[in-house]
Amino acid sequence: MEEQILLLKQEAINAFSAATKMEELESLKAKYLGRKGQLNSLLKRLPTMPQEVRPTLGKLLNQVKSDLENVFEEQTARLRRAELQAKLESEKIDITMPGLPFDAGNRHVLTAITQEIIDIFSGMGFEIAEGPEVETDQNNFVALNIPKDHPARDMQQTFYITSEILLRTHTSPVQIRGMRARYPRLPVRLIAPGTVYRRDQADARHSPIFHQVEGLAIGEGVRFSDLKGTLLVFARRMFGPDTVIRMRPSYFPFTEPSAEVDVSCTVCKGKGCRTCGGSGWLEILGSGMVHPSVIRNGGYDPERVTGFAFGMGVERIAMLKYGIDDLRLFLLNDIRFLSQFH
Amino acid sequence: MRVPLHWLQEFVDLDYSPQELAERLTMQGVAVEAVERMRPECRGVVVGEIAKIEPHPSSRGLSVVQVQVPEGTFQVICGATNIAVGDKVPLALPGSVLPGGKKIEVADFDGVQSQGMVCATTEILFGKPHLEGEGVLILDKSAPLGEDVISYLDLEDEVFVLDLTPNYASCLSVLGVAYEAAAITKRPVRNPLKLHPDVARGLSGVSVTIEDAELCPRYAAKLVRSVEVGMSPPWMQWRLHMAGMRPINNIVDVTNYVMLEVGQPLHAFDFDKLGNKIVVRRACQGETIVTLDGEKRELSPEMLLITDSHRPVAIAGVMGGLDTEVTLDTKTVLLEAALFKPASIRRTSGSLGIRSEAAIRFEKGVDPSIQPLAAERAAQWIERLGAGIAVPGVVDEHPNPLRPKTVSLRLDRALEIIGVQIPKPEAISLLQSLDFEIRDHGDTLAVTVPARRVDIDSEIDLVEELARTYGFENIPATSLRDSTVPGGKTPEQTAVDQVREFMMGCGLQEIITPSLIGPGDLKRSGLEAEIAHSIRLANPIVEDQSLLPRSLLPGMLKVMAYNIAHGSNRLKLFEIGKAYFAKSLPLQELPDERLKLSIGATGEQFPVHWDNPRRQVDFYWMKGIVEALMARLGIDAGFVQSHETQYHPYRQALVIAGPHTLGSIGELHPDIQSAWDLPSRVLVAELDLDLLLELRKMNRTCQPIPRYPCVERDIAFVVGESVPFGQIAKAILEAGRPLAVEAKLFDVFKGSWVPEGKRSLAVRITYRAEDRTLTDSEVDSVHQQVRKELIERFGATLRS
């Protein structure tokens, strides 16, 4: 009997291992380990065995049963793995097919640049101010030292609505509005983005509608050197940490001293190239110390406070930063252009 | 302004290379845009000597001239009569090239060979045919034979092309630029006007009356007799040319030359055609004058005239009259050097459209101290050219003589504004280098301003002078010292950014459209009635950009039409822009500028993809975006049927919140869609963003997460299709109160088994109690209420 048992064990192990499907394995389990299985029929024969060998045989039978059950479990796991593997293989996909596209919205390039400028100056404690596009002649010109008949006022360049109401030609009237709204608070530090208008025919370098960002800092002891320092920080954040700036004396009726500000060419780093016309410098903004009479027009006492102001063209900065060569692209809104900027 | 360097060097030693000086001038505020090397572009024209002159054998008026050069003798045919044997002349050898590219070759004149050409000034300088009466240029006897004529005449020069800001009126002259250069080189200026500072006053035979001393503060006149009008010498013509002016004749050239030299515009009258009484007065209404350019000009009383006793002879400071012009016959010349009020000249030249060099200088401001000196200087030049004899004395009408300006400067304050520490002596010497006279009063400096610096009036002007001569590049970069301030955006500005971010999150591309549109754009957008409400420019460039509208729709449609025409087929766009609301028209006060949010879409909802549904954008797509935005802003908004002409009559809605109308959404009317050549349905929305920001919910408090589960029950029913779902949803929630918290429409079906005029709706109702888990029987009973309500109120047939 003992031999029979061991023979059965070996046979069952061989059969389990050879099974290739779960169903096959299940029926083998019934055949060997089931209630009517071969192992059980051997067990049923046990009482017919001599008394003295019964315990040994009984023990052996139990041992074989548990061994076979283990083998069955192992083989089950093997087959499950194989089945899963087969299923996974059947699920193979072409990962080079395109993913589900979704429309990622973009901001307009002018918004992107404006926000970048605002963020830089916000970090330096500048508030964001706004002013109307339809302005008074008083705020746009007279209060900025540009009375009627002043050479800086070119009739051809201004869109008028009435003799006293016009489309602002620059964001500088926000200097006056900004000071008046804040007086007598000090210091005043604001940045004012906005749309401005000039009566120019549109071409690659002119647009009747464009965008500026104005800056203003008024306080006790604000110096020209502070203007230089503030703009240097701006230029380095905007154009890269190696950027240097150059201030050239210039003229604006509402600032004195006035300066044009150049940055080292973003393309050639100052060596001279086509973008900078060989000079190594790119003009980016106009600036200066707020003229005493403008400070007075803003409500403050120019004997007590001083300040600086600057104004830059958003399109100009975008053109330099992205190598855009036609001003008309900004308001054309060709999505093939707009989708390039984020 | 264009400044030839040899000319500049007459007044100051330069010491620097042209490029270096240009750079330094630029950094001092006198922007040198370019340095141009100029020389008459003629090659192969040399100094020759006339050896023999014979008449041409057959052609009358021509001579056969033998011209000697070191290489030998050249025979040329010549029509000029001003040459004699022994004269030195420019000889264009065969193969030489005149300016403009004309090549001189051996030619045959009626059987006689001409081996080149003897040249007039006009030919060698400008390559143009010689003028009527202009003879061959006779060179000095000392001119070396065979030398290149241009080199011999020393005409090659470098020219600074200045791009002057309006404050540098004083640099509209070579002398003025010399003072700026002197501040760099620290060399003295040789001011030609200071050579003869004392001009004898009075001039018999000429009287000047100024009737309007405000418009004409000063008028000086000088006579030159025995005038011989002709060409001015090559060097003077060439200098005028380099400076950008056209040579005319020796008298006019001298007036222009002196203007370029010292900045004082001059005018030369033919004295014999002018009465001896000059009156400076305003024009009478209807008066006319024919100006030098041959144009008849209508004058008005705001214009100032120079008149003789009978008639206008010049428009003051702008242009002379044709009648009294200097001609070849002129024998006596009256030179005018006057001072006119800048604003008046600016107005006059502007309204007549004459931008003469004189007008440009007068309107920016001329040195008020130099009028008699400049007239005197011009007379001397005429004498020096041998073109006339100056009559001693000068008329100088000067009703209210100006005193030199003195401005007081607090040096400490000036340096504090600039942000530099400069020792006092250095600061003083910087100002002195610009010709300012300084008296040191301790705390303040009394600074006397040179009269030519018409731009300097106040202390801050001197601060600028100090800063620019010290050099902006030498000023340090410092940080603002004020106490720090928070800065940043206002909550409203932040909210606008958030709305923009939200739109981008919805997959929309931001656009920025021109705020100026045309009436045609409004009409094409179905908003013709808006034309009358739009603010109109008084001086538009084009009708297409003449209005500030109250709607962003035309701008949106224009962008859509452009992109569709350029190959796009699906567009999902938004704009945050201004709309302009006039309180009254014509405008009395500034309009309301309100921020609007405009959304536009056309084409498929999803990008083309093998696994994407191909569905067009529709009303519900747009409504979904607006609803989501409202939820984001915490605004409880509703939609009500509207009747606006730009939309599909049955696919549009006003967006409302309480008493407020926030805007509208809708499908574009097919007529408008086709007016813009848009191939598929277009969905648009326009919302008053300022109002949204006002109504938005700012402070939210946290709502607890529900502690007990909800129960969802679906209900399907057939109901009349004209019953708005909005009413049904409201009725469900009311009938299911307080347990029904949400009713979601998840299926709509029409046709097939559904009777005509009805639709089948399926709604998922969510029931929830805050304080317990709902039992089936509780839900059953509420749900039954809902079913009953649907049947009784809407005549619904329940399907489940």
Same domain, A67 and A136: no
Q: Is the peptide bond before A184 cis (omega within 30 degrees of 0)?
A: yes
- Cα(B723)–Cα(B728) distance, integer angstroms: 8
- Asked if A225 and B418 come within 8 Å (Cβ–Cβ), the reply is yes
Please choose, from the candidates B458, B482, B468, B457, the residue with its C-alpha nearest in 3D space to the C-alpha of residue B418. Answer: B468
Same domain, A64 and A123: no
Residues facing B721 on adjacent strands: none
In a domain, A101, yes or no: no
Instruction: Give the helix/strand (H/E) hosting B322.
Output: none
In a domain, A103, yes or no: no
**Which range of residues forms the domain containing residue A14?**
2-90
Nearest to A125 among B485, B535, B590 (CB): B485
Q: Is B239 on the interface with A (CB under 8 A)?
A: no
Same domain, A60 and A133: no
Same domain, A241 and A167: yes
B185's tokens: 């080189």
Residue B677: phi and psi, rounded to 5, are 55, 40
Three-state SS for A138?
Answer: helix
B376's tokens: 């005197």
To the nearest whole angstrom, how far is the Cα of A109 from the nearest Cα of chain B? Answer: 9
- Asked if A230 and B545 come within 8 Å (Cβ–Cβ), the reply is no
- Asked if B29 and A250 come within 8 Å (Cβ–Cβ), the reply is yes
To the nearest whole angstrom, how far is the Cα of A86 from the nearest Cα of chain B? Answer: 26
To the nearest whole angstrom, how far is the Cα of B49 from the nearest Cα of chain A? Answer: 47
- Asked if A149 and B347 come within 8 Å (Cβ–Cβ), the reply is yes
pLDDT at A35: 87
In a domain, A312, yes or no: yes
What would the 3-class secondary structure string for B129-154 be?
Answer: CCCCCCCCCCECCCCCCCCEHHHHHC
pLDDT at B196: 66
Q: Is B513 on the interface with A (CB under 8 A)?
A: yes
Q: Is B471 on the interface with A (CB under 8 A)?
A: no
Among A90, A124, A154, where does a domain finish? A90
Q: A11-17 — which CB contacts under 8 Å span 24+ positions?
A: A12/A38, A12/A39, A12/A68, A12/A71, A13/A68, A13/A71, A16/A68, A16/A71, A16/A72, A16/A75, A17/A71, A17/A75
Same domain, A198 and A74: no
Count structural domains, chain A. Answer: 2
Contact B666, B652 (CB under 8 A): yes
From the candidates A225, A234, A306, which should be mutated to test the interface with B, based on the most B CB atoms within 10 A? A225
- Cα(B233)–Cα(B241) distance, integer angstroms: 12
Tokens 């910087």, located at residue: B430
pLDDT at B276: 85
How do A188-197 and A127-128 pair as beta strands? parallel
How do B112-115 and A255-264 pair as beta strands? unpaired
Contact B38, B159 (CB under 8 A): yes
From the candidates A335, A338, A339, which should be mutated to test the interface with B, based on the most B CB atoms within 10 A? A335
From the candidates A133, A161, A231, which should be mutated to test the interface with B, based on the most B CB atoms within 10 A? A161
pLDDT in tens, chain A (342 residues): 788 888 888 988 899 899 888 899 999 989 988 888 888 888 888 888 888 888 888 888 888 889 989 989 999 999 999 999 999 999 999 999 999 888 889 999 999 999 999 999 999 999 999 999 999 999 999 999 999 878 777 645 899 999 999 999 999 999 999 999 999 999 999 999 999 999 999 998 899 999 999 999 999 999 999 999 999 999 999 999 999 999 999 999 999 999 999 999 888 888 888 888 888 899 999 999 999 999 999 999 999 999 999 999 999 999 998 989 999 999 999 999 999 987
pLDDT at B713: 95
Same domain, A83 and A205: no
Residues in chain A with CB shorter than 8 Å from the CB of B487 are 121-127, 189
Distances, alpha carbon B49 to alpha carbons B90, B94, B133, B222, in Å? 9, 16, 22, 40
Average pLDDT per block of 10 residues along chain B, 800 residues long: 97 95 96 95 94 90 93 92 93 94 89 92 91 88 94 96 92 97 94 76 84 95 95 96 95 98 97 92 94 94 92 95 94 97 92 93 94 95 96 92 93 95 94 95 94 95 96 95 82 95 96 97 96 96 96 98 95 97 94 98 92 92 97 94 95 97 97 96 98 90 90 95 94 94 95 92 95 92 94 90
In a domain, A96, yes or no: no
Q: Is the peptide bond before B586 cis (omega within 30 degrees of 0)?
A: yes
In a domain, A249, yes or no: yes
Residues in chain A with CB shorter than 8 Å from the CB of B552 are none
Among A90, A119, A139, where does a domain finish? A90
Three-state SS for A26?
Answer: helix
Residues in chain B with CB shorter than 8 Å from the CB of A136 are 590
In a domain, A104, yes or no: no
To the nearest whole angstrom, how far is the Cα of A336 from the nearest Cα of chain B? Answer: 9
- Cα(B261)–Cα(B257) distance, integer angstroms: 6
Three-state SS for B19?
Answer: helix
Residues in chain B with CB shorter than 8 Å from the CB of A336 are 566, 568
For chain B, positions 675-734, list CB contacts with chain A under 8 A: none
In a domain, A332, yes or no: yes
To the nearest whole angstrom, how far is the Cα of B598 from the nearest Cα of chain A? Answer: 14
Same domain, A196 and A336: yes
Same domain, A228 and A158: yes
For chain B, positions 724-783, list CB contacts with chain A under 8 A: none
For chain B, positions 517-556, list CB contacts with chain A under 8 A: 535-541, 545, 548
Same domain, A118 and A67: no
Among A90, A125, A153, where does a domain finish? A90
Q: What is the CATH number of the domain that holds A130?
A: 3.30.930.10
Q: Is B516 on the interface with A (CB under 8 A)?
A: yes
pLDDT at B483: 66
Same domain, A20 and A159: no
Q: Is B489 on the interface with A (CB under 8 A)?
A: yes
pLDDT at A153: 76
- Asked if B562 and A224 come within 8 Å (Cβ–Cβ), the reply is no
To the nearest whole angstrom, how far is the Cα of A180 from the nearest Cα of chain B? Answer: 17
Residues in chain B with CB shorter than 8 Å from the CB of A97 are 610
Nearest to B505 among A105, A219, A250 (CB): A105
Q: Is B115 on the interface with A (CB under 8 A)?
A: no
pLDDT at B313: 96
In a domain, A297, yes or no: yes
Q: Is B284 on the interface with A (CB under 8 A)?
A: no
To the nearest whole angstrom, how far is the Cα of B776 from the nearest Cα of chain A? Answer: 41
Nearest to A107 among B480, B484, B500 (CB): B500
Which segments within A208-317 are labelled E, that is strand? 209-219, 245-252, 255-264, 281-290, 306-313
Residue B503: phi and psi, rounded to 5, are -60, -40
Q: Is B363 on the interface with A (CB under 8 A)?
A: yes
Cα dihedral: B488, B490, B492, B497 (round 10) = 0
Q: B32-36 — which CB contacts under 8 Å span 24+ positions?
A: B32/B160, B32/B161, B32/B162, B32/B163, B33/B161, B33/B162, B33/B163, B34/B160, B34/B161, B35/B158, B35/B159, B35/B160, B35/B161, B36/B158, B36/B159, B36/B161
Same domain, A262 and A167: yes
ipTM score of complex: 0.88
Residues in chain A with CB shorter than 8 Å from the CB of B486 are 125, 127
To the nearest whole angstrom, how far is the Cα of A200 from the nearest Cα of chain B? Answer: 8
- Asked if A219 and B347 come within 8 Å (Cβ–Cβ), the reply is no
Same domain, A279 and A149: yes
Nearest to B487 among A125, A197, A221 (CB): A125
- Cα(B589)–Cα(A308) distance, integer angstroms: 30
